[in-house]
């Protein structure tokens, strides 16, 4: 094990971009690894359910070219996790195609390891029957019907398949759905660094400069791992890491401030300490990884729940705004009556911006506004029904009467024509469960490719 290992995280998500100047400075630290997260569940279930990416191809290709050139010219590994956004087969294939296109255009040669993360419905049902699947949080019970309705199923891999690919001589690893810190922790753990520090550093680096001040998801972050601590510093001189910014990001997306579970165990932060060692650099010590008695991975899946159509409108008549709750109730009642023959086949929603539009009933400081933005949403079994329901609700609200109404031309202002937008298929997360496995690598087969110009 070397005295230190330098890790470069170029951006929070592959395709989010980074300044060339920051990337160049990041490379001046002589990194031993470049790793980048390429996906997330943050954009919601649509992308996993539909098999589509949430970052444009051109943006991913731009970032990919920089990363491949830098890693291969320096003979250091490049790890890409959760390829294509959600890390299922169509996402992995999409990202794989971009990678090969860049390699051809740049004339690059390397050994590529591709690690899919898909699991079959048959396997999940078998595990369910054996009592080896449990819900992760307050989610509905998993049934055979829900599994059948799910489009793609992906499991979050830990470091073990990535370590195996590195041991197999891979220069570049393109992986399906990953536990976010895994792509950063794999090489350090392989080389003998403490797993707790490696996972904690990976937790910070997976979002790149979001953990800096000012934070950014499209800038580079440097991690330096040592035997008993790690150091974190943004590549851009315009940003700095502080104890507060790094500690705060440690808690990012976590319900417990001390115990951060992942594949095969949990990161224990009870003895972690944060120190400001320079104006722009923070040192972290004491983080430990505690293996669990059984190895579990998170399985994610989404299913189609209908088709969505929306309209966007605005209103600033104070009388209309004062009566808005009654207007919405009346529009819903009229719509339900008009489509009584389709009861149970559609839902109608009103989202108000300018009046509790973000937090809804949980808003701690509700207050009136002189104007409101209104998003009317129809969700139905078919796009035709959703369009019909939305159109009826929109036109009804446009001319709905209320106390003190003066003008009859219309209650709503529409910024666009046409006013109604077909959003398309609507998905919901259907599988969000932990599954026990016998071996950490059993779900994640590795395929090697010799990429040549």
Q: What is the DSSP string of 322-343?
A: HTHHHHHHHHHHHHHHHTGGGT
Residues 6+ apart with CB under 8 A from 236: 19, 21, 22, 25, 209, 212, 219, 220
Average pLDDT of the residues of the chain:
96
What is the rounded CA–CA span in Å between residue 202 and residue 186?
9
Residue 193 has pLDDT above 90, yes or no: yes
Confidence check: pLDDT of 1 > 80: no
- The pLDDT tens digits of the residues spanning 214-237 come to 999 999 999 999 999 999 999 999
Token pair 């195609």 is found at 97
Task: Report pLDDT digits (tens) over 300-348.
Answer: 999 999 999 999 999 999 999 999 999 999 999 999 999 999 999 999 9
Q: Supply φ then ψ for residue 313, to 5 degrees.
A: -145, 165
Whether the per-residue pLDDT at 252 is higher than 90: the answer is no
Residue carrying the six token digits 């399906």: 176
Residue 293 burial (C-beta neighbours within 10 Å; 0-12, 13-18, 19+): exposed
pTM confidence score? 0.94
Question: Could you tell me the pLDDT band of residue 10, with boundaries at 50, 70 and 90?
Answer: very high
CA angle 159, 161, 165 (to 5 degrees): 110
At residue 177, the pLDDT reads 98
Compute the average pLDDT of residues 65-72: 98
- CA separation, residue 447 to residues 174, 189, 299, 327 (Å): 10, 22, 21, 59
φ, ψ of residue 22 to 5 degrees: the values are -70, -40
What lies within 8 Å, CB to CB, of 70 at 6+ separation is 23, 27, 34
**What is the pLDDT at residue 98?**
98
By the 8 A CB rule, do 62 and 72 touch?
no
Is residue 50 within 8 Å of residue 301, measured between CB atoms?
Answer: no
What are 263-289's pLDDT values in tens digits? 999 999 999 999 999 999 999 999 999
pLDDT at 2: 83
Q: Cα angle vertex 355, ends 354, 361, to 5°?
A: 145
Task: Indicate the pLDDT class of residue 403, thresholds 50, 70 and 90.
Answer: very high
Report the percentage of the chain scoring pLDDT > 70: 100
Spell out the domain ranges in the chain.
4-300+431-451, 317-412
Q: Is the pLDDT of residue 368 over 90?
A: no
From residue 414, give the alpha-carbon distance in Å to each of 356, 378, 394, 398, 418: 21, 17, 10, 10, 9
Q: Please give the pLDDT value at position 356.
A: 84
* C-alpha span between 237 and 299 (Å, rounded): 39
Tokens of 299: 């399985």
Q: Is 96 helix (H, G, I), strand (E, B) or coil?
A: helix
Long-range CB contacts (< 8 A, 24+ apart) of 364-368? 368/321
Residue 229's CB: how many other CB atoms inside 10 A? 19
- In this predicted structure, the answer to whether residue 363 has a pLDDT above a threshold of 90 is no
Q: What is the pLDDT of residues 20-38, one digit of tens each?
A: 999 999 999 999 999 999 9
pLDDT 10s digits, 371-380: 999 999 999 9
Rg (CA), the chain: 25
393 has a pLDDT exceeding 80: yes
Q: Which of 108, 57, 111, 110 is closest to 84 using CA atoms? A: 57
145-171 tens-digit pLDDT: 999 999 999 999 999 999 999 999 999
- Is 90 exceeded by the pLDDT of residue 369? no
CA distance 162 to 185: 9
Overall average pLDDT of the 104-122 stretch: 97
Identify the pLDDT of residue 366: 83
pLDDT at residue number 328: 97
pLDDT beyond 90 at 172: yes
Q: Would you say how long the chain is, in residues? A: 453
Instruction: Tell me the DSSP string of 136-169.
Output: SSS-PPP-HHHHHHEEEEEE-B-HHHHHHHHHTT
């Amino acid at each position: 094990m070397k005295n230190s290992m330098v890790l470069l995280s170029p951006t929070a998500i592959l395709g989010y971009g980074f300044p060339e100047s920051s990337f160049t400075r990041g490379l001046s630290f002589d990194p031993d690894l470049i790793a980048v997260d390429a996906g997330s569940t943050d954009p919601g279930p649509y992308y996993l359910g539909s098999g589509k990416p949430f970052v444009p191809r051109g943006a991913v290709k731009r970032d990919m070219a920089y990363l491949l050139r830098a890693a291969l010219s320096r003979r250091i590994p490049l790890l890409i996790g959760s390829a294509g956004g959600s890390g299922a087969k169509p996402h992995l294939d999409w990202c794989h195609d971009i990678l090969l296109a860049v390699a051809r255009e740049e004339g690059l040669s390397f050994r590529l390891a591709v690690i899919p993360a898909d699991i079959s419905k048959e396997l999940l049902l078998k595990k369910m029957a054996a009592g080896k699947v449990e819900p992760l949080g307050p989610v509905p019970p998993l049934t055979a019907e829900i599994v059948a309705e799910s489009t793609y199923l992906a499991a979050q891999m830990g470091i073990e398949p990535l370590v195996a690919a590195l041991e197999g001589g891979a220069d570049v690893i393109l992986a399906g759905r990953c536990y976010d810190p895994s792509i950063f922790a794999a090489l350090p753990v392989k080389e003998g660094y403490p797993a707790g520090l490696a996972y904690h550093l990976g937790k910070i680096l997976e979002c790149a400069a979001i953990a800096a001040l000012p934070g950014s998801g499209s800038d580079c972050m440097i991690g330096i791992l040592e035997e008993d601590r790690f150091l974190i510093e943004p590549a851009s001189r315009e940003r700095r890491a502080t104890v507060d910014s790094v500690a705060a990001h440690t808690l990012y997306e976590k319900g417990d401030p001390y115990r951060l579970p992942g594949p095969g165990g949990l990161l224990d932060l009870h003895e972690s300490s944060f120190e400001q060692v320079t104006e722009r650099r923070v040192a972290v010590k004491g983080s430990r990884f505690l293996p669990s008695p059984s190895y579990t991975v998170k399985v994610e899946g989404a299913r189609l729940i209908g088709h969505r159509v929306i309209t966007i409108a605005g209103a600033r008549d104070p009388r209309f705004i004062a009566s808005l709750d009654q207007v919405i109730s009346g529009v819903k009642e009229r719509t339900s009556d008009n489509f009584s023959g389709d009861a149970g086949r559609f839902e109608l929603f009103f989202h108000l911006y300018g009046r509790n539009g973000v937090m809804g009933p949980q808003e701690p400081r509700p207050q009136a506004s002189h104007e409101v933005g209104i998003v009317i949403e129809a969700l139905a079994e078919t796009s035709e029904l959703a369009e019909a329901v939305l159109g009826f609700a929109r036109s009804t609200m446009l001319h709905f009467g209320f106390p003190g109404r003066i003008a009859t031309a219309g209650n709503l202002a529409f910024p666009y024509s046409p006013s109604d937008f077909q959003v398309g298929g609507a998905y919901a997360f259907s599988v969000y469960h932990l599954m026990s496995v016998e071996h950490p690598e059993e779900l994640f087969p590795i395929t090697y490719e010799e990429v040549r110009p």
